[in-house]
Amino acid sequence: MKRLIIYSILSVATLCSYGQSNFNKTEIKSTMKRVADWQIANPATGAEHDDLNWTYAALYMGMIDWAELTEKEDGDSQYYNWLLKIGRRNAWQMGKYMYHADFIAVGQVFLEMHQKYNDRNMMLPTLARTEFVINHPSASTLELDYRNMASLERWSWCDALFMAPPVYAKMYMLTNDWKYIEFMNREYKATYDYLFDKEEELFYRDHRYFKQKEANGKKVFWGRGNGWVLGGLCEILQTLPRNNMHRQFYQDLFITLSNRIVQLQGKDGYWHASLLDPDSYPSPETSATGFIVYALAYGVNEGLLDKTVMMPAIEKGWKALVKAVEKDGKLGYVQPIGADPKKVTREMTEVYGAGAFLLAGNQIYKMVP
């Protein structure tokens, strides 16, 4: 089922390419199951952790890939059933803020559930939300200010590029209605023009970091923030067909950002909280690493990235992620909710970290014949 379009099957030669012997399919699947099961058994609560918030939306996106894999290979529908339960108890609604990107992110998963089960009720709230936003676009600034909620009505922080644009891409593919892709293109490119540093080829988290410096004098580029962007680009590229006229911009950006970020991997296999000053934040950070490994592995699987360059980083990154998984399946070293680099410890975990791990794991699993 995954995604909204059917892709050409990669050749056997590609699947048998560099690095296959360094992954064990049974171990990959077993580790993913431990992470998925632990997270379901240990739900997060508190601020920004209700069913429809961005934190859980990121988990659901990893979980739906895992659900597809386990149903297809094992006839195990428990993970789809878990997602169905969540959708039904919330009537497939969006989060509470009309324009805020974080509160439409669940629409990505609900639209995929609609695609699988052909239940119109699963897509109607997302349809209503996107229709309203498109027909009543915000004229707010891209200068984010948390004292002014209107400044979060557009995609004024780089995380938003993971949360909202793929929803509009999926709506475009479901409806074939030009207005969805037109809106996504306009808003995405506005954020790109504003937050992308063309010299460093990285995204600032938001405008507040334009002039800030790390302890080593480098610019402040947040690891997970750029991971969010790469993850969102993966979702867009998995939705738009290769011959779609709107795809080239996103594909080019994905390749540029991937080729830059692969250079910034730590010797320990992790991408750290600060991309340009890892020495100030030396601890592992699994949410950034998870989203980046997901993106690089997807790019290799789809033939968009040079596997001879990317596979060593993917292998090191996946091994690093697995090291952060406890025996019971808890994923550690996840930076808490935030907007910039922070210190991380092994005890720290978050639902979006598990989501990123499952997204990465599914792409790694596809690499192994």
Strand partners, 274: 222
Strand partners, 213: 219
Amino acid at 76: D
Give the Cα separation of 108 and 194 in Å (integer).
25
Q: Which of 37, 74, 102, 159 is catalytic?
A: 159
Name the residue among 236, 238, 256, 260 with its Cα closest to residue 187. 236
CB 348 within 8 A of CB 332: yes
Look up tokens 């980046």; give the residue.
Answer: 292
Handedness of CA 244, 245, 248, 254 (dihedral sign): negative
Give the Cα separation of 57 and 109 in Å (integer).
8
Indicate if 306 belongs to the active site. Answer: no
Phi, psi of 219 (to 5 degrees): -70, 160
| Nearest-5° Cα angle at 237, 233 to 242 | 150
Peptide bond into 3 cis (omega under 30): yes
Q: Which residues are catalytic?
A: 159
